Amino acid sequence: MTRPALPDLPGLLAPFRLGPLTLPNRLAVAPMTRISATDDGVPTAAMARYYARFARGGFGLVITEGIYTDCAYAQGYANQPGLTDMAQALAWRDVVRAVHAGGGRIVAQLMHAGALSQANRFRGDTVGPSAVRPVGEQMRVYAGTGPYRMPRAMTEAEIGDAVAGFARAATLAREVAGFDAVEIHGANGYLLDQFLTGHTNQRTDRWGGDIQDRVRLAVETAHAVRAAVGAGFPLGIRISQGKVNDFHHKWPEAAQGAATVFGALAGAGVDYLHVTEFEAWRPAFPGDPSSLVEHARRAAPGLPIVANGGLHDTARALEVLRQGADLVALGRGALANPDFPGRLAAALQPRPFDPALLSPLGNLKPGEVTEEEHAGRVTAQPAAG
């Protein structure tokens, strides 16, 4: 017999309206890099089963892994899925239909890797805001080896092409694949975050300078995507301080920088902000008790906020709701518990997280694991739940 819901959980299990979407609860699946598409970026049947599993488990919203947006420099990893042509878009349609059949809604996260690209079937070089080699080394879990390559500073035309790529991918996401929303990936050290970050953006033109100028590319990308998908179609943007190659980075502008970034994005036509930190409830800056969620809430008082980072503990999830978040996105918690919402409703304790779940799906051979294990073994972006 199903046990009653725990008394402190209605906040997580309450419905929420995100634009035209009525979600059954406040729980979302965070974007997690899976490197499980075909060599030419086409989503697979295994991916459809993987995403549908979360919908069947009760998650109201599922956010995809980062999807590359153009055939020039956007691709970050081998076997990363794209949204650049009809073959990719039609394969994503199958994924979307599987999620809808499970009762969920699905968001396409659009990503340009920029200088952090480790594998690109179109190009052998990388680009970024400036010719600054990224710190750290390529991620071996994504088949990278050695230091990141030295990027070439993007020309004005290439910046325009990158923005146009986001817009074209968003159009395919809505009109062909049938996604319920799109999310611009402006976090974790990828291209838009490279422009936002002072030490990777040393430009002296309109794309560089102070933080209000460095956020310009994210703002213009949001404007372009909004124009592409039209009014009324949900559009979000994901923002972080930490990066996959610089995990503990903090904005040196601290609270004022957060106000500038979130205020600019709130005015750019997005429908929600997706804020991610390693542990989302903790103070964002030394000497300041406010979390990044709280800074976002102050800068964008009427805008829905998705919080991500270490929130598989329900007490922490409820804490960020009190801080001003509207939705909670889970990575590790969702991997261990694709039925997380159902378990909460039944007053069942979540299953503990097994680090083995972080094995990239793309490295598994058919027949090595069961279908359910195959669907659960993915690689999470840092700060992804």
Catalytic machinery residues:
190
CA pair distance 175, 178, nearest whole angstrom: 6
From the number of C-beta atoms within 10 Å of its C-beta (0-12, 13-18, 19+), residue 74 rates as buried
Q: CA–CA distance from 163 to each of 84, 89, 167, 368 (Å)?
A: 13, 19, 7, 41
Q: CA–CA distance from 82 to each of 44, 72, 73, 247, 281 (Å)?
A: 12, 12, 12, 26, 32
Quick check: helix, strand or coil at residue 2?
coil
- Angle of the 254-266 helix axis to the 292-299 helix axis, nearest 10: 50
DSSP one-letter code for 175: I
CA pair distance 66, 61, nearest whole angstrom: 16
Q: Quick check: 295 and 280 in contact, CB under 8 A? A: no
Residues in the chain: 385
CA pair distance 321, 48, nearest whole angstrom: 30
**Residue keyed to tokens 């890797």:** 113
Taking alpha carbons only, the member of 102, 83, 105 closest to residue 92 is 83
Taking alpha carbons only, the member of 305, 129, 110 closest to residue 225 is 110
